[in-house]
Amino acid sequence: MKQQVLTFILNGEEVAVLVTPTETLLDVLRERLQITGPKRGCDDGECGACTVLLDGEPVRSCLTLALTVEGRTVTTVEGLMVKGELDRLQKAFYERGAFQCGFCTPGMLMVAKSLLAKNPNPSRDEIRSYMAGNLCRCGSYEEIIEAIQAVAAGEY
Amino acid sequence: MTQYVGQAMPRYGGIGQVTGTTKYVDDIVLPGMLYAKCLRSPVHKGIVRKLDLSAAEAVPGVVGTLTAADIPGQNLYGFSGDQPVLNNEHLRYKGEPIAAVVAVDEDTCMEALEKVKLEIEEQEPVFDMLEAIKPGAPIVRPGTTHNLLEFFPGVTTRILKLGDVEQGFAEADYVFEDRFVHNVQDHAPIEPHVSVAYWDAADQLVIHTVSQMPYFHLRYLQPIFNLPLSRIRYVGGVIGGAFGAKNDIHADHIAGLAALKFRKPVKYRWTKREDLSYSTKRGAWVFEYKTGIKKDGRITARHIKQWHDTGAYGALSVYAVEKCGMFAAGAYHIPNILVESQIIFTNKPIASSMRGFGVINGQTCVEVHMNKIAEAIGMDPWELRFINAWRDGDQGVTRYTVQGAGGLEAMKKLAELTGVQLPDHLMAMSSRRR
Amino acid sequence: MREVLYYAPTELTEATAILADHRDKAAVLAGGTDLLPKLNYYEVKPHALLYIGRLGLSSIHNGSSALTIGATTTTADLATHHLVQQYAPALAQAARLSGSVAIQNAATIGGNIANASPAADLVVALLALDASVRLLSHSGQRDVHLADFFLGPHLTILQPDELITQIHVPLSPGKTEFLKLGRRKGQTLAVVSVAVRLQLDGDLCHDARIVLGSMAPTPLRCRTAEHLLRGQKITTDLIHQAATQAIAESSPITDQRATAWYRKKAGEALVQRALLQALDKKEVRP
Ligand SMILES: Cc1cc2nc3c(=O)[nH]c(=O)nc-3n(C[C@H](O)[C@H](O)[C@H](O)COP(=O)(O)OP(=O)(O)OC[C@H]3O[C@@H](n4cnc5c(N)ncnc54)[C@H](O)[C@@H]3O)c2cc1C
Ligand code: FES
Ligand code: FES
């Protein structure tokens, strides 16, 4: 298939990459740019493992056609660290064991990041409802909620 | 060491998980890597009459195809040793792999799969295990006369026995019976099945696997590839959830065969839809429970029958059913126990292991059964359980002697945590003595 | 490999010209939350993809008699926009209850309508609000009542060369409610959903809308049930009758989400609850 140049801001840096029209953002991140933080769980929009921030808002990278992000800003879990320092959410997830297999974690972190950006002090119900689109089959939901609450409470 | 006991420790390797740097198998992308996709059976049961892959092979970007003929060793694998890697004869379930295409990417694989000329003589399937054991039911395994798995040659009912249930029922004041039906369940880990295989510089076949039991799986893979074990390097350890799904090989055999044939790195991954539809499952189960009990609540006998639907192949069902049978009477002192188990083939996806290996299927039944008995004899369900709970020295159905029993203590803790006030005579009971 | 063309026009005329050129070989792409699963799983194989996210169709305006909502307005915007909350609270509620955050950020109102799922949440609310859609093609434009738009599951009167550009929601008075029952609370398609609107005149019901989702091949206006309420004094009894009648008009199926039997039982309760709760809602005043 004919390839086209796609240019966008990925984790703070402009990237240009050749893509085909049917590739998704997830395909391009994982297979062309080796940004493998976002995971392919279902390719169907259901699981949330592929969630990235597009202009700061969470979207499913598996449902986002790559060419539509031309000129826009994409942040993945790889872009959470600042100057080699873990983001507070990364620290809290790590220290509080907010995962077992970790496959859902990159998606969870991005949604949590967006939640705290909008609502620095969410209630338990607000966390649950905001995170509802991200599945954790290992069942780390309690620890995920607690980690987000701990960050909101300034413990990290 | 002791400073860690009682402490929450950060997950080993967890920094990788929160930074996205942990390499799961699908994260591996190698130069020149090819992709494989399987042609799956569109029918639940049928005979392949024609399989013509030439048009698929002609699609630009297709490197080649794999069929049973490409397998250097044996075309059988699995815990029960009855599963073909690629089946181009008697298809037994919808989604069963028939052949594979290998191409530069998955889009091309899918395009090629559409061009395969496949003719199948469809046959009548059977889905309900209790129908499958009736006379005249469609036969799942060609060349056999019935749908029952043989535990040992000629033995289709596995019997576990302690004491004499008939005598136990005769001693009972009441006898209660219950029937339970459990449906099929999928493990649904977020990470689908995937494998990457390639030849390394030392002429070894390297396979990156999501296997939960690599040493078993190596033993299944070796005869397929017909390579000495020393030439297979099986790399595992990072898994995106499994829950028993990855106790069976779903992708390594195909990726390995493709790497073997085409001498290139090959990735074979399942889509989530394939995974949910066609991967191994926790099989369906039917249980019948019959319990004899004295007026004072002491159980005198328990007779359990279990029928397990293993789907198209045996896989780990024997393991699950035997383990289920071993504990199905519950953690109770019962002098007379009989457990009769049958495993039945149907034209459903393969049933195998899932969390608890069948134990929880039996446990849910026995505890519901206990509650119903308690209600029927007008006894508090805590009391019924306390009276019968295992004490040290009791015997299980396979004649194991219970040591370090803790059921009573666990129930006391549970009562405390849930705010239930237990009467003194129950609180005085201990697992150390009857 | 198959060639697929990609267009991301910034002008409507350009977009309709592309559609006219490709006839039924092009797929319109808005948020992609319905189209991409099908593309990813090779269920659709368009020759061209027309991305409409750069046409400037994401806006919400307040006219003298209607809200005008651009077709690519996202569900997230509908859920939070003050005009929608003020004049079409049932639509805001349907938006809030559909998908999850990441889906809502992409999913569009035009996509929800064009996809024509019997479960489409926004459509259920829009039908209760008497909405209409504006369809544009190379050869002209037409306005169609949403009630006349759907033909069956994923079937509409939309022609292959037409785009939905706007949705008009009349500013009509009334008390509204949208309720949804799913297999779980978050990110789930409706087992049954209901939107109601009651236009009251003292304690008489001047006009009513009762719309069911997932209960028929298309989202369904229960006209006989609405008629039962019209001109009557609203009582609990009448509400029960209307709910029973609404379910009698439906024809749900058994699928992986629920049985038809369950849908009818739950649907009846949901309609009752929606009507009762609507009575307690603040009246929308244009
Ligand atoms: C995980 C998940 C959860 C979901 N949950 C819900 C839910 O709870 N409730 C619900 O109602 N839906 C739900 N959906 C479905 C979907 O999100 C909505 O239907 C959404 O509104 C579709 O909009 P879109 O912009 O993403 O559509 P797209 O996928 O871009 O398009 C859908 C269809 O409409 C056509 N189309 C789109 N815009 C136009 C236009 N302006 N003119 C003409 N044709 C057009 C496209 O060609 C395509 O055929 C869910 C989807 C997913 C993946
Ligand atoms: S991979 Fe995108 S939602 Fe599951
Ligand atoms: S940690 Fe395994 S899916 Fe969430």
Residue B89 to residues B97, B100, B122, C36: CA-CA distances in angstroms? 11, 15, 12, 36
Range of the domain at A35: 4-79
pLDDT (0 to 100) of residue B251:
98
Residues from chain B that touch A22, judged by Cβ atoms under 8 A, are: 107
| pLDDT at residue B427 greater than cutoff 80 | yes
> In chain B, whose CA is at the least distance from the CA of A90?
B18
Confidence of residue B6 (pLDDT cuts 50, 70, 90): confident
CB contact under 8 A, B11 and A99: yes
| pLDDT at residue B3 greater than cutoff 70 | yes
A118 and A64 in one domain? no
What mean pLDDT comes out for the span B201-226? 96
CB contact under 8 A, B273 and C41: yes
Region of poorest pLDDT, from B8-22, B165-179, B341-355 = B8-22
A109 and A52 in one domain? no
Is B11 an interface residue toward A (CB < 8 Å)?
Answer: yes
The count of other CB atoms within 10 Å of the CB of residue B251 is 25
What mean pLDDT comes out for the span B4-26? 91
Please tell me the distance from the alpha carbon of residue C163 to that of residue B102, in angstroms, as a whole number: 40
pLDDT digits (tens, 9 = 90+) for A141-155: 999 999 999 999 999
pTM: 0.95
pLDDT (0 to 100) of residue C1:
60
pLDDT digits (tens, 9 = 90+) for B230-277: 999 999 989 999 999 999 999 999 999 999 999 999 999 999 999 999
A67 and A8 in one domain? yes
A124 and A66 in one domain? no
Region of poorest pLDDT, from A26-35, B6-15, B197-206, B340-349 = B6-15
Task: Answer yes or no: are the C-beta atoms of B125 and B347 closer than 8 Å.
Answer: yes
> What CATH code would you report for C60-170?
3.30.465.10
A75 and A11 in one domain? yes
Domain C175-279 listed as CATH 3.30.70.3040: no
A68 and A8 in one domain? yes
User: Distance, CA B15 to ligand 3 centroid (Å)?
Assistant: 15
Delimit the domains of chain C by residue range. Answer: 5-51, 60-170, 175-279
A102 and A66 in one domain? no
Residues from chain B that touch A137, judged by Cβ atoms under 8 A, are: 188-190, 241, 243
CB contact under 8 A, A41 and B272: yes
Is B237 an interface residue toward A (CB < 8 Å)?
Answer: no
Residues in chain C: 286
pLDDT digits (tens, 9 = 90+) for B302-331: 999 999 999 999 999 999 999 999 999 999
| C106 closest CB neighbour out of A43, A46, A64 | A64
CATH number at residue A19: 3.10.20.30
Is A21 an interface residue toward C (CB < 8 Å)?
Answer: yes
| Ligand 1 atom nearest to CA at A44 | 53
User: Distance, CA C119 to ligand 3 centroid (Å)?
Assistant: 30
Is C155 an interface residue toward A (CB < 8 Å)?
Answer: no
pLDDT (0 to 100) of residue C110:
98
Please tell me the distance from the alpha carbon of residue B34 to that of residue B62, in angstroms, as a whole number: 9
User: Distance, CA C113 to ligand 1 centroid (Å)?
Assistant: 8
Single residue among A29, A48, A79 that ends a domain in this structure: A79
Ligand 1: list residues with CB < 6 Å.
A 45-46; C 27-35, 52, 71, 75, 98-99, 103, 106-108, 110-112, 114-115, 119-122, 158, 163-164, 187, 189
Count Cβ neighbours within 10 Å for each residue of B344-365 and write b for 16 or more, e otherwise: bbbbbbbbbbbebbbbebbbeb
Single residue among A30, A47, A79 that ends a domain in this structure: A79
User: Distance, CA C154 to ligand 1 centroid (Å)?
Assistant: 11
Residues 254-273 of B with CB under 8 A from A: 271-273
| pLDDT at residue B7 greater than cutoff 80 | yes
Is C171 an interface residue toward A (CB < 8 Å)?
Answer: no
Is C6 an interface residue toward B (CB < 8 Å)?
Answer: no
SS3 of chain B: CHHHCCCCCCCCCHHHHHHCCCCCHHHCCCCCCEEEEEEECCCCCEEEEEEECHHHHCCCCEEEEECHHHCCCCCCECCCCCECCCCCCEECCCCCEEEEEEECCHHHHHHHHHCCEEEEEECCCCCCHHHHCCCCCCCCCCCCCCCECCCECCECCEEEEECCHHHHHHHCCEEEEEEEEECCECCCCCCCCEEEEEECCCCCEEEECCCCCHHHHHHHHHHHHCCCHHHEEEECCCCCCCCCHHHCCCCHHHHHHHHHHHCCCEEEECCHHHHHHHCCEECCEEEEEEEEECCCCCEEEEEEEEEEEEECCCCCHHHHHHHHHHHCCCCECCCEEEEEEEEEECCCCCECCCCCCCHHHHHHHHHHHHHHHHHHHCCCHHHHHHHHECCCCCECCCCCECCCCCHHHHHHHHHHHCCCCCCHHHHCCECCEC
pLDDT digits (tens, 9 = 90+) for A64-76: 999 999 999 999 9
| pLDDT at residue C3 greater than cutoff 90 | no
Phi, psi dihedral angles at A43 (to 5 degrees): 55, 25
**Nearest ligand, CA C165:** 1
ipTM surpasses cut 0.95:
yes
User: Distance, CA B221 to ligand 1 centroid (Å)?
Assistant: 44
Interface A–B counts its CB contacts (< 8 A) at 107
A66 and A10 in one domain? yes
Confidence of residue C23 (pLDDT cuts 50, 70, 90): confident
pLDDT (0 to 100) of residue A142:
97
B299: which residues sit within 8 A by CB, 6+ positions away?
A: B291, B292, B293, B332, B333, B334, B388
- Written as one string, the DSSP assignment of chain A is ---EEEEEEETTEEEEEEE-TT-BHHHIIIIIS---SS--S-SSSSS-TTEEEETTEEEEGGGSBGGGGTT-EEE-GGG--BTTBPPHHHHHHHHTT--SS-SSHHHHHHHHHHHHHH-SS--HHHHHHHTTT---TT--HHHHHHHHHHHHTT--
A135 and A117 in one domain? yes
The count of other CB atoms within 10 Å of the CB of residue C90 is 29
| pLDDT at residue B2 greater than cutoff 80 | no
Decide whether any atom of ligand 3 lies within 6 Å of the A141 Cβ.
no
> In chain B, whose CA is at the least distance from the CA of A82?
B19
| Ligand 2 atom nearest to CA at C102 | 3
Structural domain total, chain A: 2
* Closest listed residue to residue C36, CA positions, set B175, B353, A87, A68: A68
pLDDT (0 to 100) of residue B1:
63
CATH number at residue A125: 1.10.150.120
> In chain A, whose CA is at the least distance from the CA of C189?
A46
Is C42 an interface residue toward B (CB < 8 Å)?
Answer: yes
> Which chains are within 8 Å of B by 3+ CB pairs?
A, C
User: Which residue, by CA, sits nearest to atom 15 of ligand 1?
Assistant: C34
Single residue among A79, A107, A135 that ends a domain in this structure: A79
pLDDT (0 to 100) of residue A1:
73
A102 and A39 in one domain? no
Is B16 an interface residue toward A (CB < 8 Å)?
Answer: yes
The CATH number of domain C5-51, selected from 3.65.10.10, 3.40.390.10, 3.30.43.10, 3.60.20.10: 3.30.43.10
Task: Answer yes or no: are the C-beta atoms of C4 and C48 closer than 8 Å.
Answer: yes
Residues from chain C that touch B271, judged by Cβ atoms under 8 A, are: 41
CB contact under 8 A, B14 and A39: no
Task: Answer yes or no: are the C-beta atoms of C112 and C97 closer than 8 Å.
Answer: no
The count of other CB atoms within 10 Å of the CB of residue B374 is 18
Residue B168 to residues B304, B365, B378, C212: CA-CA distances in angstroms? 14, 21, 21, 58
| pLDDT at residue A47 greater than cutoff 80 | yes
A97 and A46 in one domain? no
